[in-house]
Amino acid sequence: MWPKCIPLILLASAHLSLAASLAKILVYTRTLNFRHDSIPTAVEALKARSSSIDVEIDNTEDQNMFNDETLSAYDAVLFLSTTGDGMLDDAGKTAFQKYLNLGGNFIGIHAASDTLNTTAFYGQELGAYFDYHPELQNATILVLDDSHPSTQKLPTEWPVQDEMYNFKSDPRDVGAVVVLTVNESTYTDDGTRQYDQGSPHPIAWYQEHGAGVQSGGTAGRSFYTALGHLNETWQDDTFMSHVLGGIQWTLLANTTKAFNDSAVVGNGVTVAAGNNSSTNSSQTSDGNEHDSALTVSVWPVWYCAMSMVVVSLYFQ
């Protein structure tokens, strides 16, 4: 037994020392109103970079994924250019609220703020609802907070071509911290603003404790960016550093299994660093598949180690 155990244990310790948490994110792209043709480009861009931040992405447009069991496997839910009020049914909204109460994290991108427009907890979790935007044009984004992971790689004055959203309220009212604003002198908005969105004009923000959580719940983090309209945007490294930084920061809420052993939601599966793609099967929209390869491979080692302890105690 001893000679068989030793290599196994050496192997296991090497394996475990390389281990990294693999967070899982459910990217929801269902649209009932306007559908951005950049959605496939965006999903592809996120999937292509996900392993660089130890994240696995599942993409779905199926509202039935919003049930307790399925959501509980995710470290964050990301609404990507979703549109429409009814894109989750009542059961889906209830499961989503419960997920947020259990420490689930949320990320919203672009039209996510024009989604579930009459669902109060969602509006608070995101921070503010979309009002209208002037036509797509060039504008200069200003970094308000350069210490946040979503802005660290951005120039202080960042030229973009995108839709400059106006919002129906000030996200700062629910406790959000604005990290990006837009210089309103650098583009034209002929629309009429009926709401106070605060100043300077909010474009991207975070919430340390997502305001969509109900009292008594464990609040995860929330991050939102209004940028991301065009295909070209999703092919731009600067923009991707903004989104990926926002995702990484959100997961570090430490309220899910990616960074918290006592968390109740999250993937909770560890993989060897640099080995993400080979040990993980589910790039599908199923969400119920789990990578059990490593968990299983550790069992004989554990069994072997325990036997050694028993044997050594016996012969003491």
Ligand X SMILES: *[C@@H]1O[C@H](CO)[C@@H](O)[C@H](O)[C@H]1NC(C)=O
Q: Does 135 bind ligand X (CB under 6 A)?
A: no
Contact 188, 256 (CB under 8 A): no
Residue type, 142: L
Cβ at position 102, least distance to ligand X in Å: 7
How far apart CA 148 and CA 134 sit, in angstroms, is 28
Identify the helix (H) or strand (E) that includes residue 71: helix 68-71
Cβ at position 169, least distance to ligand X in Å: 23
The gap from C-alpha 90 to its chain's centroid, in whole angstroms, comes to 23
Q: Does 248 bind ligand X (CB under 6 A)?
A: no
Cβ at position 257, least distance to ligand X in Å: 9
Judged by CB under 6 A, the chain residues 43 through 72 that form the site for ligand X are none
Neighbours of 263 (CB within 10 A): 20
Query: Which among 4, 54, 12, 1 is positioned nearest to 301, based on CA atoms?
Result: 12
How far apart CA 80 and CA 191 sit, in angstroms, is 25
Binding segment (CB under 6 A) for ligand X, from list 7-15, 83-91, 247-255, 269-277: 247-255
Q: Does 186 bind ligand X (CB under 6 A)?
A: yes
Of 37, 135, 146, 237, which one interacts with ligand X (CB under 6 A)? Answer: 37
Judged by CB under 6 A, the chain residues 90 through 109 that form the site for ligand X are 103
Residues in binding contact with ligand X, number by CB under 6 A: 22
How far apart CA 258 and CA 124 sit, in angstroms, is 24
Of 54, 94, 259, 297, which one interacts with ligand X (CB under 6 A)? Answer: 259
Q: Does 81 bind ligand X (CB under 6 A)?
A: no
First and final C-alpha spacing in the chain: 17
Nearer to ligand X, 101 or 119 (CB): 101
Site of interaction with ligand X (CB under 6 A): 37-38, 40-41, 103, 138, 142, 161, 183, 185-186, 218, 231, 252-255, 259-260, 262-264
